[in-house]
Homo-oligomer: A and B are copies of this chain.
């Protein structure tokens, strides 16, 4: 396990105001919201790197890190990703990150000899890891005063197929979700989802 220097918003390419008055993590978690309309102002490469660093810092079962990211700025590719009306915001965002997952992992079968060849096995954790990476990504977006929205691909075949085609994804790589990112065109408020009835104590 390698230690890394903790990366502040400022050193990772965050805007100046993050350096001067960083929002606390709890504040960012509570103020994150889905943002579906963006100004034309571009998202900087430094901001994209901060966002991807946050995504890759997510937990990963057995440390497989099955996540893969496709960063899309090309308008033709964005347009190919949003043929349906429900996700028009994909074509309008300055940058779109498609989170993909490698669904198998090379492992020696349980109980096999130490010199046995590893074989491709289903990775039962790939969706969990991609989801955690996506949530980190969205929180980094919020911390940078940008806006984004999680658009599901998996497990909907009618969304995965055009995404695979638009991005030329190889076999074994499944598109998990599509996240358009930009500067919010309007001030939006987070939803209040706190429900005590969703909490049980000791047993159901």
B-contacting residues of A (Cβ < 8 Å)? 1-4, 6-9, 12, 14, 18, 22-32, 34, 50, 52-54, 56-61, 63, 65, 67-74, 77, 124-125, 127-128, 131-132, 134-136, 138-140, 142-143, 149-150, 152, 155-156, 166-170, 173, 177, 189-195, 198-204
Please determine whether A27 and B2 come into contact, CB atoms closer than 8 angstroms: no
**Contact A139-B25, Cβ < 8 Å, known A32-B57, A77-B203:** yes
Task: Write out the residue numbers on chain B whose beta carbons fall within 8 Å of the beta carbon of A203.
Answer: 70, 77, 166-168
Name 7 interchain pairs, CB-CB below 8 A, sorted by A: A3-B189, A6-B190, A22-B27, A23-B24, A69-B199, A70-B203, A167-B203
Please determine whether A190 and B57 come into contact, CB atoms closer than 8 angstroms: yes
Query: Once bound together, how far apart are the Cα atoms of A168 and B74, in whole Å?
Result: 51
> Chain B: which residue is nearest A11 at the CB level?
B26
Query: Once bound together, how far apart are the Cα atoms of A14 and B23, in whole Å?
Result: 14
Please determine whether A124 and B156 come into contact, CB atoms closer than 8 angstroms: yes
Task: Write out the residue numbers on chain B whose beta carbons fall within 8 Å of the beta carbon of A199.
Answer: 52, 68-71
Query: Once bound together, how far apart are the Cα atoms of A38 and B143, in whole Å?
Result: 30
Query: Once bound together, how far apart are the Cα atoms of A147 and B30, in whole Å?
Result: 20
Least Cβ–Cβ distance between A204 and chain B, in angstroms? 5
Please determine whether B59 and A192 come into contact, CB atoms closer than 8 angstroms: no
Please determine whether A24 and B26 come into contact, CB atoms closer than 8 angstroms: no
Please determine whether A30 and B58 come into contact, CB atoms closer than 8 angstroms: no
> Chain B: which residue is nearest A148 at the CB level?
B59
**Contact A195-B56, Cβ < 8 Å, known A7-B30, A22-B22, A173-B204:** yes
Least Cβ–Cβ distance between A49 and chain B, in angstroms? 9
